[in-house]
């Protein structure tokens, strides 16, 4: 006997069958209501009429539901149907580790190819923007992969980024190029002291243009190299232009950079330029360039590495934070009437750099042995031959004084350290 379920409350026995002589017959019932119900059976309802289903996906307040749907990839077919497929085990493990990357003890010895994917996954999940965990996660990558995370960093005119993300910037290791131009650091800034750390001993190009530096800042920056032969000993390019507080005494501290190939001291407070040129040539072999060098046009130093998008995000966040509120129409009309411009229209520029660019004479030096830091060799050979001819015409007395002056720095190599140098060493 078979029967069907109905949503009616009355008891319905359903159709009745009988077997007679090997054949199955349905009993004819006299009730019209039952016959009509047999002709039009109502479907069985699993849920009541007012029941509705809500698809709970990508809800930020429901973390448990998000973790369940995170294991699947949802796509639409050509017919418009929703189809899902399970993610690979590698992507699931990669997502789990990127969510908890700040709890990892160390990534040293981990394969670089997988580490790059792990860094991209953590960046996509915005792990590096979290207040406490972001710095710890970034330090795990920098201590294990160094220059792969960031090999070159350009923070030109980004003094707000330096003030907001100083600890993150100090976590970068094995940088080869660092541009801190127009950041107004000063002699006592923490980042200037960090430049002498062993983590940045790989820096070969350093731009410190227009940073309010003086002789004290240059002395602090060169103290580890002069005394302990460590710090910025691999420096080949240095830009100290537009720092008017640097005098002739501060230039003398630069003689410890033996590998220096290019130097820019334009816009500094030098008094005796001729003697400074002579000392730079005799001590570290740098010759004054008659033509502006292409190494100081700030086009070679760019932010490169895994974390280049993170640095750009820092710049966007700081720019939006400082962006002024939109002025109303009456206020804007009043500003136009009085000839005033809004702060957003005035671009931020280095005033000393602009005045210096208009000047014709630049104090840029290069080393003759390096072909990258100067132009054709024939011009410099002609200049050197002219200088040799002029030197032959000098009197014999001047040659003797030059010999005495050249013998003095050789004797000064064995002079005891000053008290200020010892104080700097004790601070390290």
Beta bridge partners of 85: 73
Question: What is d(CA 130, CA 404) in angstroms, rounded to the nearest whole number?
Answer: 62
> Which H helix or E strand runs over 93?
helix 89-99
The 10s digit of each residue's pLDDT in 196-208 is 888 899 999 999 9
- Beta strands 286-288 and 364-367 are antiparallel
What pLDDT does 358 receive?
45
Question: What is d(CA 313, CA 290) in angstroms, rounded to the nearest whole number?
Answer: 40
Q: Where are the alpha helices (DSSP H) in 301-395?
A: 308-322, 329-337, 351-358, 377-393
CA distance readout (Å), 346 to 81, 108, 341, 349 = 53, 47, 7, 9
The answer, yes or no, to whether residue 228 has pLDDT greater than 80, is yes
Q: How confident is the model at residue 347 (pLDDT cuts 50, 70, 90)?
A: very low
What pLDDT does 92 receive?
87
The distance of Cα 271 from the centroid of its chain, to the nearest Å, equals: 39
What pLDDT does 49 receive?
59
Tell me where in the chain the CATH 3.80.10.10 domain(s) lie: 150-314
Strands, E assignment, 224-307: 237-239, 262-264, 286-288
More confident residue, 255 or 424: 255
More confident residue, 180 or 72: 180
The answer, yes or no, to whether residue 193 has pLDDT greater than 50, is yes
The 10s digit of each residue's pLDDT in 268-307 is 999 999 999 999 999 999 999 999 999 898 777 899 999 9
Residue 422 token pair: 């010892």
Question: What is d(CA 246, CA 401) in angstroms, rounded to the nearest whole number?
Answer: 27
| Residue reference for tokens 């131009």 | 181
Which residues, 6+ apart, have CB-to-CB distance to 205 below 8 Å?
A: 176, 177, 178, 179, 235, 236, 237, 300, 301
Burial (CB < 10 A; 0-12, 13-18, 19+), residue 366, is buried
% of the chain beyond a pLDDT of 90: 42
Fold of the CATH domain 150-314: 3.80.10
Mean pLDDT: which of 18-22, 325-329, 342-346 is highest?
A: 18-22
More confident residue, 392 or 320: 320
What pLDDT does 24 receive?
75
- Greatest extent of the chain over all pairs of C-alpha atoms, in Å: 147
- How many C-beta neighbours within 10 Å does residue 77 have? 8
pTM: 0.65
C-alpha distance across the termini of the chain, in Å? 97
The answer, yes or no, to whether residue 34 has pLDDT greater than 50, is no
């Amino acid at each position: 006997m078979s029967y069907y379920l109905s949503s009616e409350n009355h008891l319905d026995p359903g159709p009745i069958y009988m077997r007679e002589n090997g054949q199955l017959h349905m009993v004819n019932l006299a009730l019209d209501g039952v016959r009509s119900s047999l002709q039009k059976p109502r479907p069985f309802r699993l849920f009541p009429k007012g029941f509705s289903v809500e698809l709970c996906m990508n809800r930020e307040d429901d973390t448990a539901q998000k973790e369940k749907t995170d294991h699947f990839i949802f796509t639409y077919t050509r017919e418009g149907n929703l189809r899902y497929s399970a993610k690979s085990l590698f992507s699931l493990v990669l997502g789990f580790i990127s969510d908890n990357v700040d709890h990892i003890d160390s990534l040293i010895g981990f394969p670089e190819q997988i580490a790059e994917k792990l860094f991209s996954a953590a960046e996509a999940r915005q792990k590096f923007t979290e207040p406490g965990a972001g710095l710890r996660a970034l330090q795990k990558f920098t201590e294990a992969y160094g220059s792969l995370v960031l090999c070159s960093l350009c923070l030109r005119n980004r003094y707000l980024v330096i003030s907001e993300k100083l600890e993150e910037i100090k976590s970068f290791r094995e940088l080869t190029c660092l541009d801190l131009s127009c950041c107004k650091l000063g002699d006592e800034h923490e980042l200037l002291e960090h430049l002498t750390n062993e983590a940045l001993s790989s820096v070969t190009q350093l731009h410190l243009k227009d940073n309010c530096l003086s002789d004290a800042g240059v002395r602090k920056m060169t103290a580890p190299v002069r005394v302990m032969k460590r710090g910025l000993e691999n420096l080949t390019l240095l830009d100290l232009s537009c720092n008017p507080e640097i005098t002739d005494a501060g230039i003398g501290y630069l003689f410890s950079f033996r590998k220096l190939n290019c130097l820019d001291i334009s816009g500094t407070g030098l008094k005796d330029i001729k003697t400074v040129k002579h000392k730079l040539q005799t001590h570290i072999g740098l010759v004054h360039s008659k033509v502006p060098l292409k190494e100081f046009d700030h086009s070679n130093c760019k932010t490169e590495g895994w974390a280049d998008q993170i640095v750009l995000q820092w710049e966007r966040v700081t720019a939006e934070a400082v962006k002024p509120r939109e002025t109303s129409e009456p206020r804007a009309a009043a500003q136009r009437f009085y000839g005033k411009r809004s702060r957003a229209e005035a671009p931020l520029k280095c005033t000393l750099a602009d005045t210096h660019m208009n000047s014709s004479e630049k104090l840029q030096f290069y080393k003759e042995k390096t072909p990258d830091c100067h132009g054709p060799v024939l011009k410099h050979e002609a200049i050197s031959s002219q200088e040799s001819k002029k030197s032959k015409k000098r009197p014999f007395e001047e040659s003797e004084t030059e010999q005495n002056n050249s013998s003095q720095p050789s004797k000064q190599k064995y002079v005891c350290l000053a008290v200020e140098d010892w104080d700097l060493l004790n601070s390290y």
